[in-house]
Each structure stands twice: as C-alpha cells, then as structure tokens.
Amino acid sequence: MDQSSTATLSHRHECMQDITKLLVDAGYSRAGDMAAGEEFDKVVGGLSWLITATLTTPLDISLPTLLEATSISTRIALSEVLHYTLLKMDLPVEISPHQIQGVDAPVLLPVVRWAVKNFMEKRVASGDSILGGGGGVEFTKYYDKGFGGLFDGEEIARNVEEMQERYKVRGRKYRFKGSQGSETEEQKVHRCLLEYGEKMRSYRGLRGGEGGGEEGGSNSDRGFKGRKKVSAFDKQLADAQKVAEEEEKALEEARERMAAQLMKNSEELNDEDVAGRGGVGGLVTLGRGEIGVANEEYEKLREKMLKERKDRDEKKELFNSRKLALEREIAEGQRLLDKNGGEVSKAEKARAEMQRMRTEVQDEKANNAKISEELQNLSEIEASSGQKDLLKSLWALVQENEKVKKDEKHFKEECKKKMDALTAALQNMGDDHGGQSEEEKAKMQEIENMHAKISSKHDKVRQLLAQRNLQVASTTRKIDDVPTRMELIQYERRFVELYQQVALKLEETRRYYATYNTLDSTRNFLSKEVKLIDSITNNFENAMKTKGSQDEFLQQFEAILKGVQDSLSKQDGALKKKQEEVSKKETEYTSVIEDQRKYFKLVKDFQEECNKNEALGAKIGEI
C-alpha cells in the first residue's frame, strides 16, 4: 500500500472519529456504542435522529429497517431517502447518495456538523418558547387587559380589594361559654368546627362515602335477592354491612345531640365582635403577653389603614379639583382658539416645528449619550483586557484607516477638480484649434495615431487574454470530468457489488429453471405411467379370455418394457454425462484455486521485495 492510500485512510478514520464525537455530544449516544464495522448504521442512524428532531414531520426511516440494512438495495434506498430529505432542508454542502451509502467520511463530516448545528438551534428555540410561554398564559386566565391598566391607582385599589375578598380569613360565627377542660379531643374538634359554621361528617362503615352506603346497600340487597343460593361469606358480609350501617347511624345521632348541646352554650357574634375581639379572641391559646402584642399590632395596622384611606380620599379630592381647573382652562383655550383661528394656526405650526426640533435635539442627545456609553464600555474593556498592546495597535490601525479614508476623499475631490480643469482646457483647445499652426497640427495628428496604435494593441492583448481564459476554463472542465482515485475505487466497488448481485440472481434463476425442468419431466413420466397402468387395467380381462389375446397382450407388454428400458438407459447416459461435466468443472476449479494461491504468494513476495527496496533506498539516501 502506497503512502497516498495510507494518508487517505488515516484522514478518513479521523473524520469518522469526529463524526462519532459530534453525534455523541449532540445526544445520540448509540453512535458511541457501535463497533467500527457499523459505520453505515452509525452515520445514517445519527443523521436520521438529527433530522427527525429538527423537522416537524418525521423521517420515513424506522429502526427495524435501519437494523436490517444489510443488502445493497436497502442501503441504496435509505441513502436516497436521506439525500432527498437533506436537499429539502437546503443543505449547503453538495453530496450524492452513493457517498452516503459508501460512508465517505470526509464528505459527510460537514453534513453532520450542519445537521448538529440546526438541531442545537432548534433545541434552543424550543426551550425559549416553552419557558417564555407559560407565565403569560397563566396570567391571562385572570387578567385579559394586559399590563397597561395594572398601574392605574383605581385599578390597583380594586385589584387589592378583590384579592382581599377572595383570600380573606373566615371569621367565627359563634362563641362557646362554660368550662372546656373536661371535653374529649373529638368534642374539641366538633366545637371548633361549629364555631366557624361547619359540621363533622362520618365516613365509617362500608358505605364508601357520604350518601353512598344506602345506594350500595340497596344494590347488594338486590344482588342477594336475585340469587337463588347465597353463600355463607355473602351472608356474613351482608350482616356486617347492616351492623356497620346501624353503628354509623347511631354515631351520626350522637354527634347531632353533641352539636345541639354545644349550641345551647354558644352565642352568635356580630360584626363588631368579629372585627374587634374576634381577631384577638381567637388567640386564646396564647399567653397574656402575646395577646397584648397582637392587640397592639392590630391597632397599628388599623391606624395605618385609616391613614391610607384618608390619604387616598385627599388625593382623590385634589385630583377632582385639578380636573375641574383643567376643564376650565380647556374651555377658555377653546374660546380663544375660536376667536383667533389664524393666529392659533400659525402658533400651532410654530409649536409643531419647535416640537420637531426638540425631538431632533433629544434624539441627538440620546445618540451622543449612547455613543459616550459605548466609548466608556470600550474604555473599561480596554482597561480590563490582558491584550492592551494588541488593542493599542488595533486602535492605531483604525485611526490610520480613518485617515486614509479622509485622504482618499480629499484626493478624489482634487482629481475631480483637475479633471474639470483639464476638460475646460481641452474645450478651449478645441475652440482654438482653427488658429493652430501646421507644426502643431502635425504633432497633434502624430499623438492621435500613436494613441490609436496603443489602443489596437490593447484590444489584441485583451482578445488573447480572453482566448487563454477560455482555454483554462475548458481544461478545468476536462480535469473535473476525469474521476479521482477515490471515485474510481468507489465505482469499482459498486460495480463489483452489482456484478455479485447479478451473478447471485442469475444463479438463482438457473436453479429455478432446472427445478422446473426436472419437475416437468417427472410429471410427464408419471403421466405416462398412469396412462400405461390404466390401459393394462382396462384391457387385462379382455386379453385373458383367449390364448391368442394373451400372447398379443404379452407381446405388447414386452414392447412397453423395452421402451421403458430404452428411456431409462437414455436418462442414465445423460446423468453420467452431467457427472463427468461436474468432475471436469471441479478439476478446473481446483486448478484455478491453486493458481490464485500462487498469485497471492507472488504478490506477497513482491510486496516484501518492494519494502526491502524502499528500505535500501532510504539507507542509500541517508548515505
């Protein structure tokens, strides 16, 4: 193997490693688990995974099809599907289906890079849309006016009142009197629920929930009635259900009596008690000091709320007064506007012009501020950078570039001025041409002739250059038409595979034809045998009646046997001939195998001699 082939294989191996690393980094971990011989499955599977994750429509390549892609036709079909899909995605790299099928790693590497880049961009865009779309949807469930009205004073107050009303603490409705130390835990819970207008509910027994036991019981009763025979377990279950229902009913009655007894020792609270004492009275489990602190905090909160309400009322009154004053000013201005329409229109124009100038000034100030801020940022970056020398040289180059631009602009202006002056001088010379002397006319004619010669020479040189460019383009096209070594190797490989496929198909077709011919011959022989047996069976009784018919029957039978023996001898001869041909082919095959072995041995010896020659050449070069 020469050095160029070794370098090509090494480059292909490096590109294949880069492709595997790109696929694994992108998330296709299966590429790292595949063996070295599964390069086609690795590349096609990775590209299919990337394209499927990027496109909205799935790719028509399934995993079983990819795993069973052992034949050439299946690989070609998969390669064509991938090639068509990549072209639809505007692939910037030129690629052919045979390069995908042949796993041309140097060509496939930029394709995989482009597919991974599209996949990462799609992933980032999808993540941003998912993260950015959740909050707005949840917010618009309750507020459909957007953010504009949320910062209005009245709107804020209304929203706060709505939230307080929605999430306010439910107040107590009753207060119980009497001692509470002898109550059980269940009685304390029941009393606490009654204070806030709730009742305890029972969920015991086999009812499965409130109101569900009676329905379940009736259904079970109907089930028992519908049966002719009831098992012992069903009877026990029905008895247990009845006992549970009775216990539950008794428990509910006891709790009703407990609730009635507790309600006798209770008193209903009014709004003042709820507002004043209810908030602090609910803290009965706290100590006396904590109750005092809570009461002080409540008073402070109440004073703060009253003060805020008072400030809000004052602001509202101030707003209404300013609104009335502005309405009066607007009415006065409208009256003056109707009185002095022309002057007002001029004033409006002047005001609009002044407003426009102010806007331009503000824009210029904003641009100046933005430029100053960018300069400040650049200065900070320059101060904090570790490459100050490089930045200084870059800044000097930028200044030099600006200076060159200014010089170029100045030079163009000077050239334009000189051209105008020369044009005017030429025009004056044309006007004064009638007054020139013969000597000046001859000199001018000589200059024009020289200019014509130089122009014709320049045109000839341009024509020669154009012809040379055409020749170069034609030669380049011819060079491009000649396939490279890698392309020739791929073509040879494809033709060999195609030849093998055609040879296999031809051999299979020949086997089918041979099988068909054999079966057809067998069918013919069997048909003849059936006809012969039927003829013997039909004519046997008639042939056995007389001596002459028996002799004739035996003669016919002997003729039939002779014909069968002749046919058998002919088939044996054909079989022997085929066996001789097979033996001859085996001998030829053995001879060819021996020649191939000798050829491989000679090639190996030649390679060893070439290696020795290269080593001797290297030693001679060193000497």
C-alpha count within 13 angstroms, C-beta hemisphere, residue 576? 6
What is the rounded average pLDDT of the residues 135-160? 55
Strand, helix or coil at 464? helix
Strand, helix or coil at 176? strand
Helix (H) or strand (E) holding 328: helix 288-339
Can you spell out the DSSP letters for 447-488?
HHHHHHHHHHHHHHHHHHHHHHHHHHHHHHHHHHHS--HHHH
Using alpha carbons, select from 218, 285, 279, 272 the residue that is nearest to residue 245: 218
Phi–psi pair at 212, nearest 5 degrees: -95, -15
The reported pLDDT for the residue numbered 130 is: 63
Residue with tokens 């505007």: 90
Non-local (6+) Cβ contacts of 240 within 8 A are 206
**pLDDT > 50? residue 62:** no
Phi–psi pair at 439, nearest 5 degrees: -65, -45
How does pLDDT run across 180-217, given as a tens digit for each residue? 556 777 777 777 777 766 666 654 444 444 444 444 44
539-577: b or e for each residue (b if 16 or more CB lie within 10 Å)?
A: eeeebeeeeeeeeebeeeeeeeeeeeeeeeeeeeeeeee
The reported pLDDT for the residue numbered 36 is: 61
d(CA 267, CA 522): 114
What is the rounded average pLDDT of the residues 534-563? 85
Please give the DSSP secondary-structure letter assigned to residue 147. S
**pLDDT > 90? residue 520:** yes
Amino acid found at 118:
N
Non-local (6+) Cβ contacts of 486 within 8 A are 8, 104
Outline where 198-287 has alpha helix (H). 213-226, 232-264, 271-272, 279-281
**pLDDT > 60? residue 250:** yes
- More confident of the two residues 376 and 302: 376
Non-local (6+) Cβ contacts of 602 within 8 A are none
Helix (H) or strand (E) holding 427: helix 388-431
What value does the mean pLDDT of the chain take? 75
Residue with tokens 């002095």: 340
How does pLDDT run across 383-418, given as a tens digit for each residue? 666 666 776 777 777 778 888 888 888 888 888 888
The reported pLDDT for the residue numbered 495 is: 94
Percent of the chain exceeding pLDDT 90 equals 13
d(CA 171, CA 195): 9
What is the rounded average pLDDT of the residues 335-342? 66
Non-local (6+) Cβ contacts of 543 within 8 A are 549, 550, 552, 553
Radius of gyration of the chain (CA): 54
Amino acid found at 254:
A
What is the rounded average pLDDT of the residues 523-533? 90
**pLDDT > 80? residue 303:** no
d(CA 410, CA 416): 10
The reported pLDDT for the residue numbered 339 is: 67
Paired residues of 176 in beta bridges: 266
Please count the other Cβ atoms lying within 10 Å of the Cβ belonging to residue 242: 14
